Amino acid sequence: MSVREKVNGTLDKAKSCIFGQDDLLDSIMAALVCEGHLLIEGMPGLGKTMSVSTISKLCDLNFKRIQFTPDLLPSDLIGTMMYSQKNETFSTKFGPIFTQLLLADEINRSPAKVQAALLEAMAEKQVTIGDNTHKLSSPFVVLATQNPIEQEGTYPLPEAQLDRFMMKVYVEYPSLKAEMNILNLKLNFLDKLEAVLSTDDLIEIQEEVEKVYVDEKLKELIVTLVHATRPSSEHFVQKYKDIIVAGASPRACQWLYKIGKYKAWIEGSDFVTPSHIMQICPSVLGHRLILSYEATLEGMSGDSVAREIAEKIF
């Protein structure tokens, strides 16, 4: 069985257990292959945690979940130095961040210090405890969730920290048919799941995805698209002069390029097409666009604006 067949088999198995959240499962797999972090926003009870648990089990990855709360400390996340009176020595107690797949549940409920500690680990792939720096395992992927309706007692992520996330995915309510299937789901189905993908398989997949061809003209279109979101750029779409306050960073170019290659690979294509970029454009660019207060009042969203700009460029 080829690694592409294994990935598709993993996704098929996950979708047979988690109903109505196909886009979320596809995004989690893309995050694992591209080693990017995912921000997931959705109402409670839509299967966000269950989706992550299912993928981690099918991929044979270490998985830990942290419930972010206002009283959480950075040491609760990364670990700390413990002093032993008996031995008169310090030892390192590692925190839950030392895993491969980390679910940061309701990340916006934790104070800025904890958010900063997590986001630093996401960027550097290492953690400093005391005087020692410890490398995190590979792959190391953070899947952070946010509740869109509860505002009391929350600390919204600053725009600079939102930029650390590869994509932002919105989880919607399942369809009537999908919710009917949920009623027939056995509670202990996770215990019966067997791993399909291994860490070695993920490394092989990354090597195959790297070989996917991207034409120079498409690379130029990707960069032009990101420049078109920046008010200071000559490529900026003037229609959005009073709508976009700040555009996407160079990280957006990198992720459109990487995820586009993954999308092409998973479909069995040897090269990336504009349609692959269009598929991921709202999720990659949406949370990176800072809209004006007036635009927000009118109900406009970053992902819808990103889609409109992409349609003009492509």
What is the value of pTM for the model shown?
Answer: 0.87
230 closest CA partner among 214, 252, 215: 252
pLDDT of res. 199? 84
The two structure tokens encoding residue 241: 């002069």
The two structure tokens encoding residue 278: 């269009």
Half-sphere exposure of 213 (CA within 13 A, CB side): 6
Last residue of a domain, one of 182, 202, 222: 202
pLDDT over threshold 70, residue 302: yes
The two structure tokens encoding residue 215: 């034409």
pLDDT of res. 281? 92
My answer on whether 233 and 258 are in the same domain is yes
My answer on whether 274 and 151 are in the same domain is no
My answer on whether 156 and 49 are in the same domain is yes
pLDDT over threshold 60, residue 151: no
How many structural domains does the chain have? 2
Domain residue limits at 242: 211-313
Last residue of a domain, one of 202, 225, 246: 202
Half-sphere exposure of 134 (CA within 13 A, CB side): 17
pLDDT of res. 223? 94
DSSP class per residue in 219-259: HHHHHHHHHTT-TTSTT--GGGTTTEEE---HHHHHHHHHH
Task: Give residue-wise pLDDT tens across range 40-85.
Answer: 888 877 878 888 888 888 888 888 888 888 888 888 888 887 777 7
Give the C-alpha separation, 274 to 224, whole Å. 13
Give the C-alpha separation, 209 to 206, whole Å. 5
pLDDT over threshold 90, residue 277: yes
My answer on whether 167 and 228 are in the same domain is no
pLDDT of res. 216? 94
The CATH number for 262's domain is 1.10.8.80
My answer on whether 263 and 295 are in the same domain is yes
Percentage of the chain beyond pLDDT 90 is: 24
Last residue of a domain, one of 159, 176, 202: 202
Task: Give residue-wise pLDDT tens across range 167-223.
Answer: 999 888 888 888 888 887 777 777 777 888 888 888 889 999 999 999 999 999 999
The two structure tokens encoding residue 17: 């257990």
pLDDT of res. 74? 83
My answer on whether 163 and 246 are in the same domain is no
pLDDT of res. 272? 92
Contacts of 217 (CB under 8 A, 6+ apart): none
My answer on whether 108 and 197 are in the same domain is yes
